Amino acid sequence: MTTANNAADRVAAIDLISRDDLFGNPVRAGGQLSPDGKWIGWMAPHEDVMNVWCASFDDPDNARLMTHAKDRPIPQYFFSPDSKSMLYVRDKEGDENYLLYKVDIESGEDRCLTPFEKTRIKVIGGSETIRDKILIGLNNRNEQFHDVYLLDLTSGDMELVLENDEWAGFVSDDSLTLRWAQKQNAAGGKDLHKIVDGVISPEPDEVIAMDDALTSGVAGYTTDGKTLYWRDSRGRNTGALYAQDTETGERTLLAEDDRADIGGALSHPKTGEIQAYATTYLRTTWHCFDHGVKASLDWLREQLDGDFGVQSRTDDDTKWLVWNDPLTSPIRCFIYDREAEDLRLFYVTKPALEGAPLQPMHPREISSRDGLTLPSYLTLPGGTDEDGDGVPDEPLPMVLLVHGGPWARDGYGFNRTHQWLANRGYAVLSVNFRGSTGFGKDFINAGNLQWSKAMHDDLIDAVNWAVEQGIADKDKVAIMGGSYGGYATLVGLTYTPDVFACGVDIVGPSNLETLLETIPPYWAPMVKQFHDRMGDPTTEEGKQLLKDCSPIYRADKIVKPLLIGQGANDPRVKQAESDQIVAAMEGHNIPVTYVLFPDEGHGFHRPENNIAFNAIVEGFLAGCLGGRAEPVGDVLGKSTAEICTGEEFVKGLG
C-alpha cells in the first residue's frame, strides 16, 4: 500500500460523491404535523418532481400523494389551522408570482384559491381560535401593494378587509384583526401605525430609524392579545427580545446577546407565549424560559449528535418533529413523543450520503483591515488535514463562496455546496462580510454605501487570511456566489483582477443602476432602503456612486476566466444584468462562458438544471484550479441549459 505524498493524491484517494446524491431530490424533506396531530406531511418526489405527501400519524407508511406538480418543485406547504387541508404555493417558471392552493385531506380535491394573473400572495395572519380562515394579501389590483382579504378556507370566499395603496405590510392578532400597518418613512426607516376598529392612526405610533430597520420590528402577539413581542435594536446594537403589555404599554426585556441578534423562537402552540429563543453567532444556542421545553431539549441533546431543532408541534404539544444535522451525515427527521420520551426516525433526507466522505465545517473569526470581526466557515477536503486542526497540511486551491442578499448570512452545519467543492479538492471559505445580518445593526450598517468598497475589502482580507494561515494557494483562489454573491464575483474580477484565478457568477447584477430600475414592483414600497444602503439614483451623487460600484463599467479589466449562470425569468436580477456583462466582455474580445436557463428564475430550482450547471462549474474549476471533476455525462441533455457562449472554455464540455 503506497502513501499519498501530496494533497492532490490524498484527495484522489477519497471517494467521489456524485452530484446526483448531493443536489438531486431528497427522499423526503419538510416534515410537518397537522395541528390536531392526526396527520403527518412531507415533501417527496413524484415522477422526479418534489410534491406534497400526507399520511395518518398512526399509519405513516400508508402515504398519499396530495399534489401533482410536473415541472417545478413545490417550494412550500403547510397544514391549514383546522387540519382539514394542506395549503401550498406555486409560481410559473421562477417568476415568483406565487399563488395559493388548497388540497382537501379527506377528498384529495385540489384547487387554486387565488386564480389571478401576475399576482403574488402574502399570508398575513393565521389564528389559533379561528381555524377556518386566514388573512392574505393580494397585489392583483395594484402590483406594488397588497390588499388585505379574509379568506374562508372551506368555501374559498374572500372578503375585502382593507384596500391598500400605501402600506408595505401589516400585523394581525389571533382574532384576525389588523393591529399595525407599516410603511417606509422618508429617512429610509419604518413607521408603524396602530389600527383601531379598522382605522389606521394618521401619525406613526412607533418610528424605527433606517439604522434599526433590519434588526427591529413586531414579533407577534400572544393568543389573548395581552402581550406583544418585539425584536428591537433601538438604543442598543443587537436585536433583543421584548414583551410589551398591550394594556399599559410597559415593555420588559426578555433576552439579549451582545454578539448576535435574537433569532428563532419557540412559542406555545395554544397560548402563543414564547418559551425558548435562539441566538446564533458562530453556532446556534437555545435558551429556555419554559421548564418543560428545557427538559425536552436537554433530553434531545443527550440522544442526538450534532445540531437539532423543532420544526413542527401539535396543538397539545405532546408530539414534535425534530430535525437533526449530524454535521457529517445527511440531515434526518425524528418523531418525538414528549410524554413517553420516545424518539423514532421518520426519514433521512438523502440516505445515499450515509457513509459518504463528508467533512467537518470549521467556524472561524477573521479580522478585517479596520478591526471588524468576520464570522466565517471553512471546510477542507478529506485527507488534507491529518491533525484535524482546520489547517491543511499544505496550501490548497480554494473557493471563496459568497452569500447572497447581501442582507443575509452564512451559518454552521451541513452545506451541500461546501461538501461538493471540498470533495473535488478545494478548501471552501464562506465569510459573513459587513452588511450581513444576525450580528447587530452596527455590522449591517458598516456595509451601507460600501458595495465594491469595504464589503469587498472584507472578502479580500479573508483571502489574505487564508493565504497567511497556509490554507489557500495564493495563485489558485476562485470566487463564486449567487445574487449578491454573483455581484461580488464580478467585482472580484473587475476591481481586484489579480487576486482571483477565476469566478463563477450565478444570477448576479452587473449594473446597479439598471438593477434598481427593474426591481419587482412589490419591492417598491421599501425601495428607500436600497437607496440608502446602495446609492440613491434620484441624486447625481448617488447615481455616480452606483455607476462607480457597477462591474459593467470595468468589464475591460477582466483577465481571468468567468462563468455566468442566469435564469431567464428572474424577477429580481433580470436576464439583462448578465446579458450586459457578457456583451461588454465580448466587445473587448474577452472570453466568457454564459449559461442560460429559460425555465428558471432567481436561482436554479429544478434539480436537473442545478445538477447540469454544477457539472459545468466542476469542469470550469478543474480547468482553472486543477481540482477533480465528475464526468459531465448526459446531464446537460436532461436540463434546459443553453450554453450561449464559451463552451470551449470549460473542461469536459467538448
DSSP state of 3: P
Q: Is 602 a catalytic residue?
A: yes
For residues 593 and 409, what is the distance between their CA atoms, to the nearest angstrom? 28
Name residue 603's beta-bridge partners: 601
For residues 134 and 387, what is the distance between their CA atoms, to the nearest angstrom? 55
Q: Tell me how far CA of residue 498 lies from CA of 503, 559, 561, 592, in angstroms.
A: 12, 8, 12, 17
CB 122 within 8 A of CB 137: yes
End-to-end CA distance of the chain: 36
For residues 566 and 573, what is the distance between their CA atoms, to the nearest angstrom? 9
Other CB atoms within a 10 A radius of the CB of residue 518 amount to 16
For residues 556 and 650, what is the distance between their CA atoms, to the nearest angstrom? 21
Is the Cα torsion angle 538, 122, 182, 441 positive or negative in sign? negative
Among 410, 602, 605, 639, which one carries the catalytic annotation? Answer: 602
User: Which positions ≥6 away from 271 have C-beta within 8 Å?
Assistant: 222, 223, 224
Q: Is 505 a catalytic residue?
A: no
For residues 635 and 73, what is the distance between their CA atoms, to the nearest angstrom? 18
CA dihedral 610, 451, 578, 544 (to 10 degrees): 170
Among 83, 436, 483, 578, which one carries the catalytic annotation? Answer: 483
And the C-alpha cell for 109? 380535491
And the C-alpha cell for 68? 401533482
CB 555 within 8 A of CB 590: yes
User: Which positions ≥6 away from 615 have C-beta within 8 Å?
Assistant: 19, 630, 632, 633, 635, 636, 652
Phi, psi of 465 (to 5 degrees): -60, -45
For residues 507 and 161, what is the distance between their CA atoms, to the nearest angstrom? 38
Other CB atoms within a 10 A radius of the CB of residue 571 amount to 20
Q: Is 362 a catalytic residue?
A: no
User: Which positions ≥6 away from 387 have C-beta within 8 Å?
Assistant: none
Query: Which residues are annotated as catalytic?
Result: 483, 570, 602
